[in-house]
Amino acid sequence: MTAGAALAAVLALSCLAVSAAGAAATVEAEADRIASLPGQPPVNFSMYSGYVTVDAAAGRALFYWLIEAAGAPAESAPLVLWLNGGPGCSSVGYGASEELGAFRINPDGRSLSLNAYPWNKGLVPIPFHRSRARARLP
């Protein structure tokens, strides 16, 4: 990904975070809102997921999962861009589920519990799946 494409992705996510946090979220942000995950406990934050186009001509996009700050106004919480993953290490399957994400997968494999030490306590993390922008636009 070129520096220009990376900057465009970050700016697009910043705009999404601001619009999603406000009272009048855009139609696009609402389309990306996650109502709940399977087996999710009650939470005091919103989540959004979707794709950010990085190369429209080539049909390339990056997957993102925005998790608003828990217990803090999203408008004033710092925005964190978390890049991790790569070959053999999924940012969602391992990084977000086993390390610093909002949830832990319970031993039954069907339910989630809240992580005691998530990044979204006072921050707004945006984990990206580092796939070198290989995802195709729908």
Whether this prediction's pTM lies above 0.75 is answered by no
Domain total in the chain? 1
3-state secondary structure of 45: coil
Instruction: Identify the band that residue 41 occupies on the pLDDT scale cut at 50, 70 and 90.
Output: very high
pLDDT tens for residues 52-75?
Answer: 888 999 988 888 888 888 877 767
Task: Output the domain CATH number for residue 118.
Answer: 3.40.50.1820
CB 64 within 8 A of CB 72: no
Domain range for 19: 3-136
CB 72 within 8 A of CB 19: no
pLDDT tens for residues 3-21?
Answer: 445 544 554 555 555 444 4
Taking all residues of the chain, what is their mean pLDDT, rounded to a whole number? 74
